[in-house]
Amino acid sequence: MSEVRVRIAPSPSGNLHIGTARTALFNYLFAKKNNGKFILRIEDTDAERTSQEYVDNIFDSLKALGLNWDEGPDVGGNYGPYTQSERFDIYPKYIQQLLDKGFAYECFCTPEELEAEKEEATKNKKAYVYSKKCENLTEDEKAKLRAEGRKPAIRFNVSKAQKAFHDSSVLEFEDMVKGKLHMDTNLIGDFVIMKSNGTPTYNYAVVIDDALMHITHVIRGEDHISNTYKQILIFEALGFEVPKFGHLGMILAPDRSKLSKRHGATAVSDFVEQGYLTEALLNFVALLGWSPSDGQEIKSVDEIAADFRINEISSSNSIFEYDKLKWMNSHYIKMLPMDVLKEKLKKYLTKYDLSELTPEQFDRMIEITREPLVLLSDITDAVSYFFGGDKVEVDPKAKEEVLSTELSQDVLKAFVEQGETWEWTEENLHEKLEVFRAKFKEEKGYKPKFTMWAIRAAVTGRTCGADMVAILAILGKENSLKRARASIIKTAV
């Protein structure tokens, strides 16, 4: 068998969508599994809808995900993507071949004429199919139209190609994911393959590129199934080998509508910005349609590749459960080695003056706050009370529910007084506070939990958070006691 070659072919009309990332991953896995090649091709024939910013985003997002492609034009020693707009000189040659073989023809219809045809179809409640009005124009008629200043588009002659290569009007193919699929090609109108301005359309350019890049397997979203029939006919008309196709089910939002921004992030870069790890994103999207044979959902890309079989991909749609992704992300955060985690978190700590902490204090702060992180960005809020020196913002709930009680006031007065004499190390504070709590329990019946709650509310301004003893040690004696003192309500003497 020839070498397996697959591609991801995003159109840069937006940032890399999480659905495209899944398609890229499945292609990448398929290539890996079969010792094949994975190719990136930017499909930017539609100049109005594309921008360099999106090209860069696609490029960077795939790199960040580790979905590196195996070949492409040399850019500074790295593989760049193949880009359709840089290949415009390639496409006319095959248009000419199609014209010569009679599988394409020039169409001089104006947008107004086409619109009128469409309106007529709507009026008659019929699906619109181009009338083939220009199929048999004579050279004289064409010359006349040209003289009027009309520039022709090129249309593919669907029925002619179908008749040349198939016994009936039904075109069938074996989809790697969905099994046998078929369509009556009478329902496909002769479609434009090159616009009158000379730009190739998607269905045409994709075939030329897949053929010239020797793509053996086309794996993409099921929204492209209707295009596949058109593309197969072009492959056949040009005598190219038809690749195998595999169409993946769509990714739907939890409410079963199309996944869109109103449900949450949809672009890989937005997920990353929000604090999702690329490992979690990849693991999560792999499970949208694919199930591990051992039922173990947490898997690295290499493990997934070893277990991956394209024909086992579910042909139905998958639901994008943001909650499951969050769960997975928190798992991956827990698995990160401390030094890697620290580096990743720095991006979310820029609003703080990190010089307030020694490197050891910083490390300890991360150690005691990392456990509940669901997103890396959660760290911003989780550590806010470590900064600000002797001042802390106390949230209203802590003030009303905790600090205003007699119990809390008693505790804080004792804490600031006794604390002055304590050696302020984590180990020692641990012991001292144990005695402190026990004493309050014995003398006043205060539950140890409430004693610590009072200190927490005053020192961190919150009712919950990380290990309190460690927090005190990191903040230091002076800051901790000043904060506690600030929460003591002054009573008139």
Residues at the contact surface with ligand GLU, assessed by CB under 6 A: 9-11, 43, 206, 220, 224
Catalytic, 133? Answer: no
The nearest distance, CB 313 to ligand GLU, in angstroms, is: 16
Q: How far apart are CA 299 and CA 130, in angstroms?
A: 49
The nearest distance, CB 201 to ligand GLU, in angstroms, is: 11
The nearest distance, CB 465 to ligand GLU, in angstroms, is: 45
Phi, psi of 386 (to 5 degrees): -80, -10
- Residue 151 · residue 196 · CB < 8 Å: yes
| Identity of the residue numbered 399 | K
Q: How far apart are CA 340 and CA 363, in angstroms?
A: 12
**What are 154's strand-pairing partners?**
106, 194
The nearest distance, CB 312 to ligand GLU, in angstroms, is: 21
- Retrieve residue 246's tokens: 């595999």
- Contacts by residues 21-24 (CB-CB < 8 Å, ≥ 24 positions apart): 21/61, 21/62, 21/65, 21/67, 21/268, 21/281, 21/282, 21/285, 22/248, 22/251, 22/285, 22/286, 22/288, 22/289, 23/219, 23/220, 23/221, 23/248, 24/62, 24/65, 24/67
Identify which of residues 53 and 423 has a Cβ nearer to ligand GLU in the complex.
Answer: 53
Identify which of residues 10 and 465 has a Cβ nearer to ligand GLU in the complex.
Answer: 10
Identify which of residues 206 and 328 has a Cβ nearer to ligand GLU in the complex.
Answer: 206
- Region of 295 (left: φ > 0; alpha: ψ -120 to 50; beta: rest) is left
Identify which of residues 9 and 154 has a Cβ nearer to ligand GLU in the complex.
Answer: 9
The nearest distance, CB 220 to ligand GLU, in angstroms, is: 4
Angle, alpha carbons 208-158-246 (nearest 5°): 55
- Element of type H or E holding 42: strand 37-42
Three-state SS annotation for 71-114: ECCEECCEECCEEHHHHCCCHHHHHHHHHHCCCEEEECCCHHHH
Identify which of residues 27 and 185 has a Cβ nearer to ligand GLU in the complex.
Answer: 27
- Retrieve residue 463's tokens: 């009712």
- Residue 199 · residue 92 · CB < 8 Å: no
Alpha helix segments (H runs only) across 5-51 = 18-33
Identify which of residues 206 and 379 has a Cβ nearer to ligand GLU in the complex.
Answer: 206
In Å, how far are 113, 191, 235, 243, 382 from 153, measured between CA atoms?
14, 10, 20, 27, 60
The nearest distance, CB 16 to ligand GLU, in angstroms, is: 10
Where b means 16+ CB within 10 Å and e means fewer, 108-124 reads: bbeeeebeebeeebeee
Set 126, 261, 351, 449: catalytic member: 261
The nearest distance, CB 61 to ligand GLU, in angstroms, is: 14
Identify which of residues 88 and 163 has a Cβ nearer to ligand GLU in the complex.
Answer: 88
- Catalytic residue ranges: 261
